[in-house]
Structure 1
């Protein structure tokens, strides 16, 4: 890169504006933010890229860029590009292990793609292995990550019973771990606040039963995924608690427990078998993820009992959002987890850990209830960009 200088970004910017006195401190800070936005040597960024990375007003960023260019700290590339002329101190290229469960559901795909994208933007070398939801493969991959001598591992496997064995490999090797959705001993957790997400859905279910079924349900069907372990099961516990909190009378209703194995097909078969055992009942269905919610709906519809069930999902997947738009659907809502944003949060956490800073033991995604009345306002682009915006199906 022509005209490169071996000086730090902020020292150079400070020297540039020092003559303006104390009032220039804010300008120094903003100039530093702009220069730091060039994350890798040779980065060519547009004004809009810099605005996005710095959260700076467009006019302010444009004015500072002109000043930095006049001082030789930034150069133009083509008609709209900018490149920093500063060579900072040599930067370690970190190798990050990413053990993904696969891309077999929209949720898993959204998480995996978001981690890949965020790692690339941060300049990390990502060593990615896909277990395809196999417990044995997840353990082999942990051993492979140790051999690869990665600096940190992001674990996104789906078997709680394997978590202690997987974590032990990394603890022995002194490799820090971030665990997505399934807690691992000694790891920093990132994912759903499962009980809180459950409460949001359960309270909404209770309100619906009160308004539409005169506060009465004959049965409450709980759809779990036992293999995922205790933490994801808190979603169902939270939903049940939310219903009882809003509608105490429902505690007298029959409770039906089904392990749907996280799958639409498995849930469809299990609920179909259950419906053959008894007469129609007004049933509130609380599902730990959207595929199981959709499987239950299909079973009730096949049995001609769609008007006798009401369903709450978790994840607000694109399939669930499409279902919410279908006229007459028994699905009244699903709680969003925004997995397409996981990567940004996880990679920021990665950078903090690698910098040797303390982090909390657990960090959570944001949750929001999506209903038939709010789905279009929350996801207005679904019809236009269905694949790009596919977001959730289930941990």
Structure 2
């Protein structure tokens, strides 16, 4: 399965996308089970949910108003639609553009700055009136913008230079905080915050995203259980890598039966749980992840060790990007930050937010 590293690195604004740097190879280079039909499995009832309390700059998901984009030509430079996360984002934007009645000019940058530059030039030739930009080469952002038309631009998950009108993406510290608080609350309720170790599965190369997200985890956990004790920080974010790394961690904790595990993505959680199962110690872990990927839904629903997970809803990015872009094209002022309304997913609500096949 292709790893969700894409979700991590694109949010970090990492320039080099190792195909994909933001979703780089996991499990022997295969891809995560994020199905291309995931948008159809999302519960439409969640579309009007208000942002979680405490998440500043979050906006609500909203379906585009039918006909609101009639006569408009809008563009999308996508990251790389061979990557599940990017494909989900693109499909959601296409759906909302069609709903709005706007003509969408689509261009896949395939993780390449030169291709993104060509996309922007094409937008100028075609008379695109505004566009969403999910290209990965942050250092070339100003050049790419300069090659395109002088129109409203909404950046997706990666800053797009001086020409961007708004930034749309994740609130990493808050997303981490949600999952960390869920872990702390569980440990408080069931063990009075007694545990043997806190293992943080991270990706240091993701820079700011790693710092914000994993720092948010610890703050959330500490808000319930006090200062983290016996902290182990591991560089492990792919399934195969996390499985190997966590197997080693378990050998250093032979008598531990309450190990708290926080991870920058769901791949790391899946790897840690796989290692624990092989060692016959799956009940020694209490975990929470990031992404609420389709591959994790059934485990969240049925595995009591999977305490919670923060949802990012890539399949619904279009419900933010398209309506706000149309407003900007019409000359309306839109927020500088359009952050995703993250939500904690657990066994109690995964079936109502999504529709797991299990």
Q: Tell me, yes or no, whether TM beats 0.5.
A: yes
In the alignment, which of 124, 138, 142 is matched to residue 163 of structure 1? 138
Compared with structure 1, are the counterparts of its residues 278 and 251 closer, same or farther at alpha carbon in structure 2 (3 Å cutoff)? closer
Residue of structure 2 aligned with 1:265, choices 232, 237, 240: 240
The within-5 A match list for 1:203-282 is 203-231=181-209, 233-248=211-226, 250-260=227-237, 263-276=238-251, 279-281=254-256, 282=258
Label 1:300 to 1:280 Cα distance change in 2 as closer, same or farther (>3 A). farther
**2:175 is aligned with 1:201:** no
Contact 1:198 1:242 in 2 (8 A): yes
Corresponding position of 2:121: 147
Return the alpha-carbon distance in structure 2 between the equivalents of residues 378 and 239 of structure 1: 22
Q: 1:239, CA displacement in angstroms?
A: 1.1
Secondary structure at 2:333 match in 1: coil
Q: Mapping of 1:1-395 within 5 angstroms?
A: 92-105=71-84, 107-132=85-110, 134=111, 137=112, 139-148=113-122, 149=124, 150-157=128-135, 159=136, 162-171=137-146, 173=148, 174-186=150-162, 187=164, 188-231=166-209, 233-248=211-226, 250-260=227-237, 263-276=238-251, 279-281=254-256, 282-326=258-302, 328-379=303-354, 381-383=355-357
Question: Retained in 1: the 8 A contact 2:198–2:228?
Answer: no
Three-state SS of the structure 2 residue aligned to 1:313 is strand
> Higher relative contact order by CA 8 Å / sep ≥ 6: 1 or 2?
2
Aligned partners of 2:80, 2:280: CA distance in 1, in Å? 36
Kindly state the Cα deviation for residue 204 of structure 1 after the two structures are TM-superposed: 1.1
Taking structure 1 as reference, are residues 95 and 347 closer, same or farther at Cα in structure 2, changes over 3 Å only? closer
Cα deviation code 1:91-145 (max 9, x no counterpart): 644141322332533x43322210111122223333333345x4xx1x1122112
RMSD of aligned C-alpha atoms? 2.8
1:285 Cα shift? 1.1
Give yes or no for contact 2:92–2:318 (8 Å, CA) kept in 1.
Answer: yes
What is the Cα deviation at residue 291 of structure 1? Answer: 2.3
What SS does the corresponding residue of 1:257 show, helix, strand or coil? strand
Determine if contact 1:336/1:369 at 8 Å carries over to the other structure. Answer: yes
Q: Check whether the contact 1:142–1:170 (CA below 8 A) recurs between aligned residues.
A: no
Distance 2:97 2:276 in 1: 43
Please give the secondary structure, in 2, of the residue aligned with 1:252: coil
Aligned residues: 284
Q: In 1, distance between residues paired with 2:250 and 2:225? A: 25
CA distance in structure 1 between the partners assigned to 2:298 and 2:179 by the alignment: 18
List runs of 5+ in structure 2 lacking aligned partners.
1-47, 49-66
TM-score, with structure 1 as normaliser: 0.64
The aligned residue for residue 61 of structure 1 is none
TM-score, normalised with respect to structure 2: 0.70
Contact 1:324 1:331 in 2 (8 A): yes
Deviates more, 1:267-276 or 1:337-346: 267-276
Contact preservation (8 Å) 2:184, 2:220 = yes
